Structure 1
Amino acid sequence: MDGSADFPEGTSVKYAGPRDYRTQGRHAVFPETDHDDCERFNYLAHVNRYIRERIQPRIEDAYNARVEPKFVAEKGRKPKDRTEARKLLLTEPMFQYYSAFRRANMEQRQQAGRWVALRQAEALAAKAAALTDGDPRLQLNPDLKIPKYLVDVHHHCMPGSYYEENFPGDVVNAANYDCGFFVTNGGAEGQEWLDTVGTAIAETLQAKFPDLKPKRILDLGASLGHNAVSLAKMYPDAEIVAVDAGAPMLRYGLARAKSLGVDNVTFVQGDVADLTKEFGDESFDLVTSYILLHEISFPAMKAIFNECYRLVKKGGVVVHSDIVKNSDQVSVCEQAIRDWDTHYNNEPFHALLRELDQHDFFLQSGFSEDGFFRASSASFGHTALDGRSTPEESALGGVMMVGAIK
């Protein structure tokens, strides 16, 4: 009943689960965690991976066995799109089980991270202040109007999202994001510093553009700098500018970077859709973002592509890495499952990005099709291909790097 009968006595089974939370990298402002904190994060990471790898694939099995046949018998046709498929899934027990389990896992992840950060809020703020006070690489704007798409939504069920401050110098939300990201990534395999993706993106760019020697790099929606620090390590002679709307993220980010020995990142508070007050035209050789676009509104996204064209130099590169768009190579059931975050994880713009070809936005903002390139998450760190993404690449899921040369 426990599955042991499947293995003859004496058979060794290789462990394939998440790594232990105690292997997580600890920098100077990383929250202190005790035994119970670590085991709570371990448990939640295991649950997250179980949900994704064991339960999620069974949804399509149930859809094919029960949901679609019942609909065909009643209507004489198959569901026409992902919206219709999702509505049908709402009454399917496997989807209900998956949704309840996954939502509970995310809420518990946020509770676990916030409890760790809140109980040492003042101490964390003091540590960050000791590393950042008076440092010109932290440029905050207390008059910045936080964009409505951030104010109205607590992304990923994270109270206060990226920007909320409860007292001067507060870094709680950033500390929560940092210490709990291990769970969100299902154990963050191989990511001691949670920078594997950022490093892979930088390696992909270096492989694609071996002659690119950027002097200034702009990272948009940088949060606490996981990817900005990766870029800083890969391009040590460049100045990295990490922009985010959240002051707690930026304070924590600079303190984290300095404690890791990275001194070529400047953290700037700003609205990524309009940086005209912060930077002049053609100020950067490379502009990047990672998992930013699916968290912003449609008008803001259009504005960001226009800003990227304005900010990057002639011959420079712009690259955004985010969720892949859907195509006819992806079943309507899988598309409906991909929309889960839109409806249940406080990411209302997630589904919109699934419908869009980002290269269309590049074209509309002034870039030429001749300079388009892309790389799927399966090839991160290795190969970037010329042109737009293909329907077959969409079927792979994950993250797609989409870029253009000015």
Structure 2
Amino acid sequence: MKSIIDQAGHGALVKGGHDDRAAQDFAFTLRNFVTSELMPANRIVYDRRAGPRHARQTGAPATTPQQVRAAMGADSWYKFYVSARRTSQELIWSSVIPAVEAAAPAAAPASAGGTLTLAEDFVPPRYIAAIDIHCMPGGYCADRGPGDTAAGAVYDRGVYLYMSGLMGPMNDAVGQLAARWLKSRLPDFAPATILDLGCGVGHSTLAYAPAYPGAVLHGLDCGAALLRYGHARAESLGVPVHFQQGDAEHTPYADASFDLVTSHIVLHETSTRALPAILKECHRLLKPGGVMLHIDQPRFDDSDPYATFLQENETYYNNEPFWRQYRRIDLAAVAEAAGFAADAIETDVLTAAVVQQSQNNEKVAAESAAARKRGFSVLLARKSA
């Protein structure tokens, strides 16, 4: 199975040679087989075998995700499925790493006007440093010293394979969706300064350049190697971005520095303690009348305990410890506690409606999300003028 979209090349991207591409094709195809062929069979197993067995043993059908997990956890098919899923995830990364190890570190070409600022003796928060999120070896904060860009190179190529190309050739469909939604929701809003928290290698960050021409783009992340790679990538694409290493709970920027503060699929990778602090920091960073915009996973609908159980597998088998808790949090309440007025807070889910508004590559991501009946959640808040 091939991706419907080829990953676009740029000055920093590492795809590798023939053998590397063959390994990546195998890992990509295996993951797609697991998700498209094996995963749906879990429902059949639950309805015909695991669910009835649980009802016989307990005297009642499962009514919570935890009870569904207990029922499925005892079934040999489900054990096979989660093993195959974890193996396919690990193979994605291991298929990418050899080419990155063999390549020279990415270097920024002739300046497009962006900058890179790394913090001395920076200590990343434990929630991001203590675990290899998405099973990516070394995690987002892996750094082998000055000039190292390996984590960024692995992430750029690995995410493309992990998402089956659905994030578009530049892995930026979420950023495109977010910018398009924001422009439709606030057509008169024209930010001059934009900060992308948890920017990684800048996939979503760069999507704001065509959306808001002339805006000064900033990206903040914990990982030095991610940022080095992101800087080289942005420069090779001719997009000036000011990358800064730092903690989203305590950023190095002055009060009222930005018109727009964003994040994209980041908040669910933080923690129960960090999330309120990050939203409070967003409020501090915004100029009067500025906008906070976070795109992430939607809240669980526990009316279907089986569906919730299956989605919770990210916590159990893909190193996403905050996934379960995050998707039950009332983000509007957290934003209000952070200082935003209740009537200035809005939540939404980008699904079928966005498909109609989307164009080109981001439409693929929106259609995929809508087909899975999930979509992306939106938290929008505006600071009082």
Same fold (TM over 0.5): yes
Shift, 1:32, TM fit = 4.6
CA contact (8 A) 1:86 1:336 kept: yes
Q: Which residue of 2 aligns with 1:19?
A: 3
CA deviations 1:99-142 (Å, max 9, x no partner) are 1111001111111111111122xx12xx415567x977111102
Match of 1:88 in 2: 71
Deviation, 1:217, is 0.8
Question: 1:305 aligned to 267, 279, 286, which one?
Answer: 279
Say whether residues 1:320 and 2:294 are aligned partners: yes
> Among the aligned pairs, what percent are the same residue?
32
Contact 2:114 2:231 in 1 (8 A): no
With normalisation by structure 1, the TM-score equals: 0.86
| Paired position in structure 2 for 1:36 | 19
Equivalent position of 1:138 in the other structure:
116
Matches for 1:81-160 after TM superposition, within 5 Å = 81-120=64-103, 123-124=104-105, 127-128=106-107, 137-160=115-138
Asked if residue 72 in structure 1 is aligned to residue 50 in structure 2, the reply is no
1:358 equivalent in structure 2? 331
Match of 2:28 in 1: 45
- Corresponding residue number in structure 1 for 2:269: 295
CA distance in 1, matches of 2:199, 2:347: 22
Counterpart CA distance in 2 for 1:71 and 1:317 is 49
Question: In structure 2, what is the Cα distance between the partners aligned to 1:383 and 1:100?
Answer: 39
Residue number in structure 1 paired with 2:366:
none
The answer to whether the 8 Å contact 1:116/1:176 transfers is no
| Cα pair 2:16 2:100 within 8 Å, conserved | no
- Opposite residue 221 of structure 1, the aligned amino acid is G
Distance in 1, matches of 2:204 and 2:46, equals 38
Question: Structure 2: which amino acid aligns with 1:205?
Answer: L
Partner of 1:112: helix, strand, or coil? helix
Counterpart Cα distance in 1 of 2:15 and 2:28: 18
Q: Show CA shifts across 1:273-293 (max 9, x none).
A: 111xx1122211111111111
| Structure 2 CA distance for aligned equivalents of residues 380 and 44 of structure 1 | 31
RMSD: 2.2
Question: 1:42 Cα shift?
Answer: 2.2
User: Structure 1: which 5+ runs fail to align?
Assistant: 1-16, 385-392
Q: Matched residue pairs, number?
A: 370
Instruction: Confirm or deny: 8 A CA contact 2:141 2:225 kept in the other structure.
Output: yes
Q: Are the aligned partners of 1:375 and 1:383 in contact in 2 as well (CA < 8 Å)?
A: no
1:208-229: CA deviation from partner (whole Å, max 9, x where unpaired): 1110100111100000000001
- 4+ long deviations beyond 6 Å: none
Kept after mapping to 1: 8 A contact 2:219/2:242 = yes
* Among candidates 351, 363, 367, match of residue 340 of structure 2: 367
On the 8 A contact 2:108/2:235 being kept in 1, the answer is: no
User: Per the alignment, in what secondary structure is the counterpart of residue 273 of structure 2?
Assistant: helix
Cα offset, 1:20, TM superposition: 6.9
Match of 1:56 in 2: 39
Larger radius of gyration: 1
Is the Cα contact below 8 Å between 1:324 and 1:397 reproduced in 2? Answer: yes
Residues in 2 aligned to 1:50 and 1:145: alpha-carbon distance in whole angstroms: 39
- Where 1:313 maps in the other structure, the secondary structure is strand
Q: Is the 8 A contact 2:132 2:139 kept in 1?
A: yes
Letter of the aligned partner of 1:89 in structure 2? M
1:255 to 211, 221, 232: 232
Decide whether aligned partners of structure 1 residues 96 and 68 sit closer, same or farther in structure 2, where only a CA change above 3 A counts. same
Residue identity matched to 1:352: Q
Any unmatched runs of 5+ in structure 2?
A: 359-369
Q: In the alignment, what sits opposite 1:274? A: 250
Q: Which residue of 2 aligns with 1:212?
A: 189
The structure-2 alpha-carbon separation of the partners of 1:34 and 1:366, relative to structure 1 and needing over 3 Å to count, comes to: same
- Alpha-carbon distance in structure 1 between the residues aligned to 2:91 and 2:108: 29
The correspondence for 2:322, drawn from 308, 333, 349, is 349
Contact 1:232 1:262 in 2 (8 A): yes
| Structure 1 residues 237 and 381: CA distance shift in structure 2, 3 A | farther
How many Å apart are 1:383 and its aligned residue? 6.7
Counterparts of 1:131 and 1:401 in 2: how far apart (Å)? 37
Partner of 2:214: 237
Distance 1:271 1:130 in 2: 27
Which residue of 1 is the match for residue 143 of structure 2?
165
State the alpha-carbon separation in 2 of the partners of residues 105 and 32 from structure 1: 19
Alignment check: 8 A CA contact 1:146 1:271 kept: yes
CA distance in 2, matches of 1:294, 1:378: 23
1:20, 1:42 within 8 Å by CA — same for their partners in 2?
Answer: no
Deviations 1:304-343 (A, max 9, x none): 01111111222221111111111243x1111111111111
CA distance in 2, matches of 1:360, 1:106: 34
TM-score in terms of structure 2 length: 0.90
Alignment partner, residue 5 of structure 1 = none
